[in-house]
Amino acid sequence: MMESQFHIIITLAVIFGFYMAWGIGANDVANAMGTSVGSGALTLRRAVILAAILEFSGAFLVGSHVSETVRQGIVDPLIFTGDGMSFMLGMLAALLAAGVWLQWASWKGWPVSTTHSIVGAIVGFGVAYGGLSAIHWDKLGTIVASWVISPLLSGTISYFIFRFILRFVFYRERPLQSAKRLAPYLVFFVFSVLTLALVFKGLKNLNLDLGTPAAFAVASGVGLVASLVAVWIVSRMPEQERDRRPGGNQAITNPATVQALEKAVKHLEKVQSTAPEHMQSKISDALDNVKRLRFESQKSYEFHTNTAEYKSVEKLFVYLQILSASMVAFAHGANDVANAIGPMSAIISVAVAGGESIAAKTPVPLWVLALGGLGIAIGLATWGWRVIETVGRNITQLTPTRGFSAEIGAATTIVLASKLGLPISTTHTLVGAVLGVGLARGISAVNLITVRDVVVSWVVTIPAGASLAIIFFYGLKLVMW
């Protein structure tokens, strides 16, 4: 009897877990990749393929940290000792509750987070079973604090990265040249952070668990190689048209010079109209010379004021944004996969142990992580690409330099949270990052009302998820017991 019940519960857990992963791939990845599609850094097709690979890698390689937290960090598994069934049913109820709540919220158009829903639901069944003391309140406090801190942190990082780009690229005499010089350093940063996230106390599953010095050494090594590749690519990029013209290095004419030459022409014309006969030919020669000078200076001045150079900078940043988008996809996979497979792996580990040894700390099985990653990829392929397209169409204001800044800020924050095992909302983190770029005067109009939406979602989702989980928990108990 027990055996068949386990089978039913495991099957249900896998189905619901997979469904949650599918939903993350279908809806949430759009926020991570939409920025790149919107800025034109990636075509839709490439974005989907890249996201599928990196989301899977993130989930598979680094996803276990946050999954551990969701699995046993919020509710104390010890209180279920001897009653593994309730724990399994509770986790199943949490999955169900989060799924239903998300469905309802998106139907209503509320900006709620998958992460918040699942955390709320787990808190709900924990309280229902073991009372208030069943919850690791300190851990929950850390998690909730991280929801507030993560958008602030990503916004701050993005703000400074964008100010940095403004200062060292756009405020320079030759923006494109400066951008080319800066690119390898940015590449170094992206690759080092990503590698560090992977190797520092990560990859336990692959026996690649390095300590601090070794991890930093490996990270900077990878970063160095990547930046050398970047140097090579940048050197092969075509120079600005202007530079190839003869005398191109003096092409920038000070507007004041243009203005002064204009005045000179006027004064010479005045001289010409009043000067005596014998001076006329010399004056008209001088006038012709000055007029020619004025013409040339005006031409170079006009050329300078057109947007060609800034466009080239953006084109260069298209490549960098592919990197930052990859980083976001990776980080997103690492953090959000836990929402789906955290409860699922909790159920499975109890079931495998025969419904008893809950306290035993077993790692999240690899195949479960893979299943979560796969679910995300399938969600992306079946529905997510549509959402990415829609999101991308709506955020064309985000040019590659802005997109890069926002994505780096968000990705760094998410990677950090994932390493700390904190389940945060990727969407909110990205919203914070975009606001950061906006505050740095990078975006033509930023809607601050979204901040209110984000805060409302913090307040509403936990009680809603918790209440639903309690209902489902007792419902399931009635059916299964």
Binding site for another protein (CB under 8 A): 27-28, 30-31, 34-35, 105-106, 109-113, 162, 166, 170-173, 175, 252, 254-256, 259, 304-305, 307, 310, 314, 387, 390-391, 394-395, 397-399, 427, 430-431, 434-435, 438-450, 452-453
Provide the minimum distance between the beta carbon of 57 and another protein in the complex, in angstroms, as a whole number.
22
**Chain-centroid distance, C-alpha 64:** 19
Provide the minimum distance between the beta carbon of 459 and another protein in the complex, in angstroms, as a whole number.
16
Q: Which is nearer to another protein, 258 or 364 (CB)?
A: 258
Provide the minimum distance between the beta carbon of 269 and another protein in the complex, in angstroms, as a whole number.
14
Specify the 3-state DSSP secondary structure of 210. strand
Closest CA to 275 of 265, 267, 263, 283: 283
Q: Which is nearer to another protein, 170 or 474 (CB)?
A: 170
Quickly list DSSP for 275-341: S-GGGHHHHHHHHHHHHHHHHHHHHHHHHHHSTHHHHHHHHHHHHHHHHHHHHHHHHHHHHHHHHHH
Q: Which is nearer to another protein, 175 or 223 (CB)?
A: 175
Q: Which is nearer to another protein, 171 or 295 (CB)?
A: 171
**Residue bearing tokens 């759009």:** 30
Question: Residue 249 and residue 261: Cα distance in Å, rounded?
Answer: 20
Q: Which is nearer to another protein, 346 or 388 (CB)?
A: 388
Provide the minimum distance between the beta carbon of 254 and another protein in the complex, in angstroms, as a whole number.
8
Provide the minimum distance between the beta carbon of 392 and another protein in the complex, in angstroms, as a whole number.
9
Quickly list DSSP for 47-93: HHHHHHHHHHHHHHHHTHHHHHIIIIISB-GGGGTT-HHHHHHHHHH
What distance, in Å, lies between the first and last C-alpha atoms of the chain?
11
**Residue bearing tokens 């979602």:** 457
Closest CA to 403 of 312, 317, 313: 317
Q: Which is nearer to another protein, 17 or 436 (CB)?
A: 436
Q: Across the strands, what pairs with 135?
A: 75
Q: Which is nearer to another protein, 340 or 346 (CB)?
A: 340
Question: Residue 425 and residue 454: Cα distance in Å, rounded?
Answer: 10
Q: Which is nearer to another protein, 248 or 365 (CB)?
A: 248
Provide the minimum distance between the beta carbon of 431 and another protein in the complex, in angstroms, as a whole number.
5
Q: Which is nearer to another protein, 9 or 464 (CB)?
A: 464
Provide the minimum distance between the beta carbon of 396 and another protein in the complex, in angstroms, as a whole number.
9
Question: Residue 255 and residue 455: Cα distance in Å, rounded?
Answer: 49
Provide the minimum distance between the beta carbon of 41 and another protein in the complex, in angstroms, as a whole number.
15
Q: Across the strands, what pairs with 210?
A: 200
Provide the minimum distance between the beta carbon of 445 and another protein in the complex, in angstroms, as a whole number.
4
Contact between residue 412 and residue 438 where contact means Cβ atoms under 8 Å apart? no
**Chain-centroid distance, C-alpha 67:** 19
